[in-house]
Amino acid sequence: MLTVDLPRIIVGTDAFVPYLPPLPKPVTEGLPHIVRTLEACYTAGFRAMDFSPHEDLMRAVRIVREKYGHSVTLLGNLSWECGVKLNGAELQGMRNSVLATIYQRWPSLAVRLDASPMDETRRRWWRADADSRALDEAEILSIQVDEEFFRNRVMTMAEVADALLLGADYADWLVLLGRTDVLLRMFEIASAVKPVFSISHFTETTLMTLDQLPVQGHFLPYGKHTAFFAHETVKECAAQCDHRIAGTFGLLRDRRAVECAEMLIRFNLEAFPGSSVILGVSEPWQAWDLIRAANEALRTCT
């Protein structure tokens, strides 16, 4: 199996991607701003960044690779429209129906969501609209991955990525819908090209299944105020895995979080010693504050 060593601190770039969950968006948007922010992160001392298949972000990452070469580790996040389809349409375009089906099959997850430390804006992202129709069994069985489309997506990301993150909605949804066979095929295709890490949100119900796939490790949500499940539950699940917990994410969900970044980073590093942490960045000025916080947290945790 292909492998890669990850730096302990990774720049997260979800703020630049309009189709991902509610996040503090940059004051200035577009390619020049993304490039300035990523270059500021590198100058400050960050040596790893993730990226999703979004046009401006992909272009910015290519600029970073050309400028800094392989002194920066790049993680391609296969998070959006990768060819998982139901009756020819992208499954991610049916978010409400999928979530309605999941909560119908797993009512305990709806209870967990209401009890989670997420704010209401985040909870709304994970809820299905009240009038959403659940998928029937025939529709669930018709879900498939367009292998040619997915392989092309993997190869495009792999042109600049050192490793791939695969999962997010795809991991959670396909496991909870009982279509792990589709997910397995995606991991087989991706892991033949680059080292692959799983990434998921419904840790308690999906992690052990993901651990059976061809992965190098797992990325879990462990934000102090944003995790879907209780932190002790996440740790208990992680302890049962054969593959390591490679990293955590979900720490910095608003601008105020930057002010207490050192505490949040330490909270995650102490939970999973030796793991990495993804820190979301949206503005160039954040790079220096976050690298100072990260270095102090690393100094006291190792």
What average pLDDT is seen over the chain? 88
Q: What band does 170 get if pLDDT is binned at 50, 70 and 90?
A: confident
Which of 24-28, 189-193, 248-252 has the lowest average pLDDT? 24-28
Which pLDDT does position 28 carry in this prediction?
60
Token pair belonging to 139: 């529709």
State the residue for tokens 């020049």. 32
State the residue for tokens 């025939």. 138
The architecture of the domain spanning 9-89+145-218+279-301 is Alpha-Beta Barrel (3.20)
pLDDT higher than 80, residue 242: yes
pLDDT higher than 80, residue 111: no
Contacts of 138 (CB under 8 A, 6+ apart): none
What does 176-200 look like in DSSP terms, one character per residue? Answer: HTT-HHHHHHHHHHHHTTS-EEEE-
Which pLDDT does position 256 carry in this prediction?
54
Q: Tens of pLDDT along 201-214?
A: 888 889 999 999 99
pLDDT higher than 90, residue 233: no
Of 8 and 1, which is predicted with more confidence? 8
Region 148-153 average pLDDT: 96
Of 116 and 40, which is predicted with more confidence? 40
Which of 72-86, 140-154, 255-269 has the lowest average pLDDT? 255-269
Which pLDDT does position 41 carry in this prediction?
96
At 98, the amino acid letter reads: V
| Residue boundaries of the structural domains of the chain | 9-89+145-218+279-301
pLDDT higher than 60, residue 289: yes
Region 103-112 average pLDDT: 85
Which pLDDT does position 251 carry in this prediction?
62
Q: What band does 18 get if pLDDT is binned at 50, 70 and 90?
A: confident
Instruction: With beta carbons less than 8 A apart as the criterion, state whether 236 and 197 touch.
Output: no
Q: Tens of pLDDT along 32-77?
A: 999 999 999 999 999 999 999 989 999 999 999 999 999 999 999 9
pLDDT higher than 90, residue 173: yes
Which pLDDT does position 169 carry in this prediction?
86
- Give bridge partners of residue 90 from the DSSP assignment: 85
Of 3 and 59, which is predicted with more confidence? 59
What global pTM score does this model have? 0.92
pLDDT higher than 70, residue 257: no
Helix axes 147-158, 180-191, angle to 10 degrees: 40
Q: Tens of pLDDT along 156-169?
A: 999 999 999 998 88
Which pLDDT does position 201 carry in this prediction?
86
